[in-house]
Amino acid sequence: MNRLHIIGGKNHGKTTLTVELVQELIRRKLRIATIKHTHHQHELDTPGKDSHRHRVAGAEGVGIISQGLSAVFWETDAQDESHESQYAIFDKFFASMDLLLVEGDLKTTAPKIEVWRAVHGTPPIAENDPGICAVITDDPIDLNTTILNRSQLQKTATWIEETFVEKS
C-alpha cells in the first residue's frame, strides 16, 4: 500500500478534493483509507469520558469499540515533526488498503500532490518543493511537474490509480 499526501494552502480545496477522490476511487472498487494531518495539537478524546480517564491514569494506548465505529488513541512525541513513526503504525493498520490518502503534512518525505488556486494570491508550494509530484488546479501555471486539471476528477483519479496503486 502506498501513501499519498494532498497538500495546499488554507482554503485551496484539500478537503473537497480528498472527499471527491475517495468517492471516485471507491467507485472503482479500490480500498481507500484516509488520515487528516494537522499541525495543531488537538485533544481527540473527550475529557471526563472513561477512555480519556484511562489515558490520564497512564495507559500508553487506549481503544474504544462501539457499535459500528472504533478508535485508538496513543500518546506521541510532540517534538517529532516528521510523524514518520506515527505513519508507520497507520501503514500497518491500513496494510490491506489499496491506497492511504493523507490530507496535509507539508514536511513529509512521502509523495505529495498540491491543490492550488491562483485566487488566493500565493505561489504554488511546488515551486520550492521537489517532493510534490503533481499540482491540481484550474488556473494557468508553468511548473516542471505534472499538472492536473481540477475540474477533471476522473482523469486525476486515473493518474493517481496508475501512479500509486500497486497492481496485484
Is the pTM higher than 0.95? The answer reads no
Q: Count CA atoms within 13 Å of residue 62 on its CB side.
A: 18
Give yes or no for a contact between 141 and 125, defined as CB atoms under 8 angstroms apart: no
Task: Kindly list the distances between the CA atom of residue 96 and the CA atoms of 90, 119, 124, in Å, as whole numbers in the listed order.
Answer: 11, 39, 33
- Pure H helices in the chain: 14-27, 50-57, 84-93, 153-164
State pLDDT tens for residues 119-156.
999 999 999 999 999 999 999 999 999 999 999 999 99
Q: What is the pLDDT of residue 74?
A: 77
- Residue 50 has what pLDDT? 84
| Residues 6+ away with beta carbon under 8 Å from 28 | 157, 161
- Write out pLDDT tens, residues 76-104: 776 666 678 888 888 888 999 999 999 99
Domains, in order of start, for the chain? 2-39+78-164 (3.40.50.300), 42-77 (no CATH)
Mean pLDDT of the chain: 90
